[in-house]
Amino acid sequence: MKGDQDVSIADGERPIEEGVRTDFRSRMTYSGYLDLDKLLDAQHPVSEPVHPDELLFIIQHQTTELWFKLVLHELQAMRSYLQHEDVSRARKGIARVKHIFRTLAEQWSVLATLTPSEYSEFRGFLGSASGFQSYQYRCVEFILGNKNAGMLRVFESDPAHHAGLQELLDAPTVYDAFLHFLSARDHDVPAQILHRDVRKAWVEQPELIPVFQRIYEDPDAHWAEYAMCEDLVDLEDAFQLWRFRHLRTVQRTIGYKQGTGGSSGVGFLKRALDLTFFPELYSVRTEIGK
């Protein structure tokens, strides 16, 4: 046996370690656990003849949707942790989400290898399909505070997605949960903010600036709140970087063409950069140290 292994090594073949399982007739496999047969059979180019770069386009967006699934899972858990005043677990969730968005931002560099000439050869086959219609992206925006009841119309043809988005429209956001957490820590969050209509998109509330100023000007006395504020800023920065990279990738690929879903394309994405989830956490910086 040893002689056989020596020959294999000499021939450049690495022997399988003793103890490595090779019989999976009655065992869970890697492919089975990950359902890889289904996952890897989910890429169906529609161009005729099939354009070689369409696979890149599909995988880029499918991968993004997988990450969005995890982001939504983490944000829902984070909201629950804050509602139960478990700030440590909430912070762990934020750390994971911000790293996901950094990964997603870097992922745009792969799609950016798709040139305008290449994309134009199969873009017409997409019809009206567009990232604008991403259900999970809308869920993420809703739970972070950028709510828009009008968006539900986009999902009227899909009852399950429509119901899921409706549920998030009617539910508190992560920021709402954080403000209730601050109130429970004896911070003077105005009652009208704590009991606001959570179906509305969040807009800046100047009455919150003194609340955050108190935290930032004495971080030692309010360390958990202070750290959580900075984590939320990290999260928003990571999300905005992803938005910006999206904008630049679209701009370099289709210029200022209209989006396949009917949006203005680059113009629509530029306006999205003006949206902010936690505006008071940026505005308070002007007041600190005055």
d(C-alpha 116, C-alpha 113), whole Å: 10
Residue 73 counted as an annotated binding residue: no
46-59 b/e with 16+ CB inside 10 Å = b?
Answer: ebeeebebbebbee
Is 57 marked as a binding-site residue? yes
123 annotated to bind ligand: yes
- Does 260 count as an annotated binding residue? yes
Residue 14 in marked binding region = no
Residue showing tokens 């920065």: 237
Half-sphere exposure (CA, 13 Å, Cβ side) for 274? 5
58 is in an annotated binding site: yes
The neighbour count for residue 250, using CB atoms within 10 Å, is 21
Q: Is 215 annotated as a binding residue?
A: no
How far lies 211's CA from each of 198, 217, 229, 233, in Å? 20, 10, 11, 16
Answer yes or no: is 60 a known binding residue. Answer: yes
Peptide bond before 49: cis, by omega within 30 degrees of 0? yes
61 marked ligand binding residue: yes
**Alpha helix locations (H) across 35-86?**
36-40, 54-83
Query: For residues 98 and 238, is the Cβ–Cβ distance under 8 A?
Result: yes
Residues 269, 246 contacting (CB under 8 angstroms): yes
DSSP secondary structure string for all residues of 185-228: TT----HHHHT--TTSPP---GGGHHHHHHHHT-TTTTHHHHHH
Q: How far apart are CA 74 and CA 246, in angstroms?
A: 22
Binding-site annotation, residues for heme: 246
Binding-site annotation, residues: 57-61, 119, 123, 246, 260
Binding-site annotation, residues for substrate: 57-61, 119, 123, 260
